[in-house]
Amino acid sequence: MSVENDEEPSNAEPAKTPTLKKVSAYQALKRNLSEEELTSPGTLKLMLNDIDRLNEEIEKLEKFRDQFYACDKDRAILTEKLNTNTAKEILYSVTITLGAILIGVGPSIWVLSSIYGVIDVLSGIVLLIGGFASKFRK
């Protein structure tokens, strides 16, 4: 019996994804024009056409840029609200937990020393009230 090795060879190169390039029929014209060719009406019309097309594209992209900044600002605001809510939830959980623990341990401490038992229970009640206040305060 032979065991096949399922591992990839270590010297394998990652697969290259084909890139699509937009090729213009006028690509060679853009750079290889003499002064005489630049002054011809056909060349000027082609260049004016490209300028118009690029101006339209700029207008479209400016709209996307404005939308991007608006969405980015909204995302930042929502992220900050989420962080604030998370901090409030942590505060609420910690104070409720500590208050419940102190109240639960209170009777055991009260047996040992009544003053420490009272302080313990009162501290637990204060923490519970503070926790509920932090949760329901807007």
- Flag whether 70 is in a domain: yes
- Flag whether 21 is in a domain: no
Q: What is the dihedral of CA 65, 68, 72, 78, to 10 degrees?
A: 150
Domain span holding position 53:
35-136
Domain count for the chain = 1
- Flag whether 87 is in a domain: yes
- Flag whether 3 is in a domain: no
Please give the Cα distance from 104 to 24 (Å, whole number). Answer: 79
Query: pTM above 0.75?
Result: no
Q: Which helix (H) or strand (E) holds 85?
A: helix 41-112
Summarize pLDDT for 21-78 with one digit per residue, the tens. Answer: 665 666 655 567 677 777 788 888 888 899 999 999 999 989 889 899 999 999 999 8
